[in-house]
């Protein structure tokens, strides 16, 4: 079985707050089987540079067959926003190149993305829009 570090809405929110973002957290799937199943949690964050991240754990992974205590979120999907719309990062970054969503991220890669987005100078967008690179 996969032994990746489990993520919760609260732990992802804490990581984003530590990076300086304003954060909103919501859970979408409760312990009840009648609850909606399209996602287990969603965390939205906005950084001082105006870029935002929407982190979604779409479903639980199971570490034991009866869900007694093995229901976890090892991987999340992340969407990048700017001015309320999905956007890629400017050229030169390892993530969000020509795409607005990175899928199947573990906590380590999520932290890398958060750090990259946190440090983006918004003037890079203007510069790359002027040069036609974005």
- For residue 50, being part of any structural domain is answered with yes
- For residue 3, being part of any structural domain is answered with no
Please give the pLDDT value at position 51. Answer: 95
Please give the pLDDT value at position 63. Answer: 55
- For residue 4, being part of any structural domain is answered with no
Which regions in the chain score pLDDT beneath 70? 1-4, 28-39, 59-72, 134
* Contact between 113 and 95 (Cβ < 8 Å): yes
Q: Please count the residues of the chain.
A: 134
Domain extent for 55: 9-131
Please give the pLDDT value at position 33. Answer: 54
Neighbours of 74 (CB within 10 A): 18
Please give the pLDDT value at position 2. Answer: 47
- For residue 86, being part of any structural domain is answered with yes
Please give the pLDDT value at position 1. Answer: 39
Total of domains in the chain: 1
Please give the pLDDT value at position 39. Answer: 60
Please give the pLDDT value at position 74. Answer: 75
Beta-bridge mates of residue 53: 45, 80
- For residue 2, being part of any structural domain is answered with no
């Amino acid at each position: 079985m996969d032994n990746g570090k489990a993520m919760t809405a609260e732990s992802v929110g804490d990581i984003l707050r530590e990076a300086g973002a304003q954060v909103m957290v919501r859970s979408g799937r409760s312990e009840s089987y009648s609850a909606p199943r399209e996602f287990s949690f969603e965390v939205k964050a906005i950084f001082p540079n105006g870029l935002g991240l929407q982190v979604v754990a779409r479903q639980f992974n199971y570490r034991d067959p009866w869900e007694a205590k093995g229901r976890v979120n090892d991987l999340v999907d992340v969407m990048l926003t700017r001015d309320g719309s999905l956007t890629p990062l400017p050229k030169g970054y390892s993530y969000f190149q020509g795409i607005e969503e990175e899928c199947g991220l573990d906590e380590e890669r999520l932290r890398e993305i958060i750090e990259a987005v946190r440090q983006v100078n918004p003037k890079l967008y203007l510069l790359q829009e002027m040069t036609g690179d974005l």
